[in-house]
Chains A and B, each alone.
Chain A
Amino acid sequence: MSGVSWREALDEEMEPMLAEEIDVFEGQVELRKQGKVDERVFAETRLRRGVYGQRYDNGQRHDGVASRELRFPAGDLTKGPETFWDAPGMQRIKIPYGGVTPDQLEVLAECAEEYSDDILHITTRQDVQLHFIHIEDTPDMMRRLASVGITTREACGNGVRNVTGCPIAGVCRTEVFDVTAYADALFRFLLGHPDCQDFGRKFKPAFSGCAGEPCGLVMMHDFGAIAEIRDVDGVPTHGFQIYVGGGLGTTPHQAKQLYEWVPASELLPVAQAVGRVFGREGEKKNRNRARIKFLVAKLGIEEFRRLIDEERAILPYDPRWTSYLPNVGDFDEEPARDAAPLVAPENAPEGFGAWLDSNVYRQRQDGYVAATIALPLGDLTADQARALAEVSRRYVGGAIRTTVEQNIILRWVSEGDLPELYRELAEIGLAEPGAGTIFDITSCPGTDTCKLGISSSRGLAGELRRRVAASSFSSDTAVEGLKIKVSGCFNSCGQHHVSDIGFFGNTRKIDGYTVPHFQVVLGGRWRENAGSYGMAVGAVPSKRVPEVVEAITSRFAAERQSDETFQDFTTRLGKKELGALIEPFKSIPTHDEDPTPYTDWGDAREFTKDDMGIGECAGEVVSSTTLELSSAESLSFDAQIAFDDGDLVRADERAYRAMLSAAEALVRAETILPPEDPDAVVKEFKERFYDTERFFDRFAKGKFARPLFERHEQGPGRLDADSIRILLEETALFIDACYAFEIRETGAQSAAV
Chain B
Amino acid sequence: MPATEQLVVDRVAVTVPLNAPDGVDIDGMIGVFHGWIQRGAVPGTLIDVADYRHVHHGPVVMLVAHELDYAIDLADGDLGLRVTRKRTAGPADLRAAVGWCAAHALRAITAFADEQPPNGSLSARTDELRVRVLDRRAVPSTAAGAERALAELGESADELFGASGGSVTADWAPPAPVTVRIRAEDPLSPGDLLAAADSASAGLSSD
Contacts and interface: CB of A to CB of B under 8 A. Distances in A.
Interface of A: 1-2, 4-6, 9, 55-56, 61, 63-65, 70-73, 86-88, 106, 110, 113-114, 117-119, 131-132, 134, 136-137, 376-377, 379-381, 383-384, 386, 428-430, 448, 458-459, 462, 465, 602-605
Contacts of B163: none
B53 A114 contact: no
A394 B25 CA distance: 38
B57 A381 contact: yes
Contact of B59 (A71, A117, A605): A117
3 smallest CB-CB distances across A and B, nearest first, come from A429-B56, A604-B31, A376-B54
Given A381-B55, A381-B58, A88 B34 contact: no
B47 A114 contact: no
Given A9-B137, A114-B136, A383-B75, A72 B45 contact: yes
Contact of B34 (A6, A64, A381): A64
Interface residues of B, number: 42
B30 interface: yes
Interface string B101-118: 000000000000000000
Contact of B56 (A6, A110, A428): A428
15 contacts: A1-B137, A2-B7, A2-B8, A70-B47, A72-B45, A117-B64, A383-B176, A386-B175, A386-B176, A429-B55, A459-B51, A462-B53, A465-B54, A603-B34, A604-B34
Given A114-B11, A430-B56, A604-B34, 12 more contacts: A2-B138, A2-B139, A4-B137, A6-B137, A64-B34, A131-B50, A376-B55, A379-B54, A379-B55, A381-B56, A384-B56, A429-B57
Contacts of A386: 175-176
A459 B51 CA distance: 8
A88 B64 contact: yes
Contacts of A6: 137
Contact of A73 (B38, B56, B66, B139): B66
Interface in B1-59: 7-8, 10-11, 30-31, 34-35, 37-38, 45, 47-59
Contacts of A136: 87
B80 interface: no
A377 B54 contact: yes
Contacts of B140: 1
Main secondary structure of the interface of B (DSSP, over half): loop
A377 B53 CA distance: 11
B135 interface: yes
A599 to B, nearest CB: 10
A72 B66 contact: yes
A55 B45 contact: no
B159 interface: no
Contacts of A381: 55-59, 75
B87 A137 contact: yes
Nearest to B11: A114
Contacts of A383: 57, 75, 176
B184 interface: no
Contact of A1 (B45, B58, B138): B138
A61 B139 CA distance: 36
Interface string B130-174: 001011111110000000000000000000000000000000000
A462 B54 contact: yes
A381 B77 CA distance: 13
B128 interface: no
A340 B62 CA distance: 44
A113 B134 contact: yes
A134 B47 CA distance: 13
Interface of B: 7-8, 10-11, 30-31, 34-35, 37-38, 45, 47-59, 62, 64, 66, 69, 75, 86-87, 132, 134-140, 175-177
A225 to B, nearest CB: 35
Nearest to B62: A117
B47 A5 contact: no
Contacts of A56: 47-48
B56 A132 contact: no
Contacts of B64: 88, 117, 132
B47, B75, B136, B140 pick with most chain A CB within 10 angstroms:
B47
A119 B61 CA distance: 12
Contacts of A73: 45, 66
Nearest to B176: A386
B51 A602 contact: yes
A26 to B, nearest CB: 15
A56 B49 CA distance: 12
Nearest to B135: A114
A55 B64 CA distance: 12
Contacts of A110: 136, 175, 177
Contacts of B35: 604
Nearest to B30: A604
A21 B175 CA distance: 28
B8, B52, B56, B75 pick with most chain A CB within 10 angstroms:
B56
Nearest to A118: B59
A41 to B, nearest CB: 25
Contacts of B58: 118-119, 379, 381
Contacts of B37: 63
A386 B55 CA distance: 15
A61 B48 contact: yes
B44 to A, nearest CB: 11
A113 B177 contact: yes
B87 A134 contact: yes
B52 A379 contact: yes
A63 B87 contact: no
B56 A602 contact: no
Contacts of A61: 47-48
A371 to B, nearest CB: 17
Nearest to B145: A1
Given A56-B48, A70-B47, A605 B138 contact: no
A65 B47 CA distance: 15
Nearest to A107: B175
Nearest to A389: B175
A415 B143 CA distance: 37
A71 B206 CA distance: 13
Contacts of B175: 106, 110, 386
Nearest to A458: B51
Contact of A65 (B8, B38, B53, B139): B38
A376 B132 CA distance: 25
A448 B64 CA distance: 12
Contacts of A379: 52, 54-55, 58
A69 to B, nearest CB: 10
Contacts of A428: 56
A738 to B, nearest CB: 35
Contacts of B176: 383, 386
Given A113-B177, A114-B136, A603-B30, A64 B38 contact: yes
A119 B59 contact: yes
Contacts of B66: 70, 72-73, 86, 88
A429 B74 CA distance: 12
A377 B56 CA distance: 12
B179 to A, nearest CB: 10
Given A2-B8, A63-B37, A604-B31, A114 B52 contact: no
A307 to B, nearest CB: 46
Nearest to A140: B137
Contacts of A1: 137-138, 140
B3 to A, nearest CB: 11
Given A118-B59, A134-B87, A383-B75, A2 B54 contact: no
A430 B177 CA distance: 21
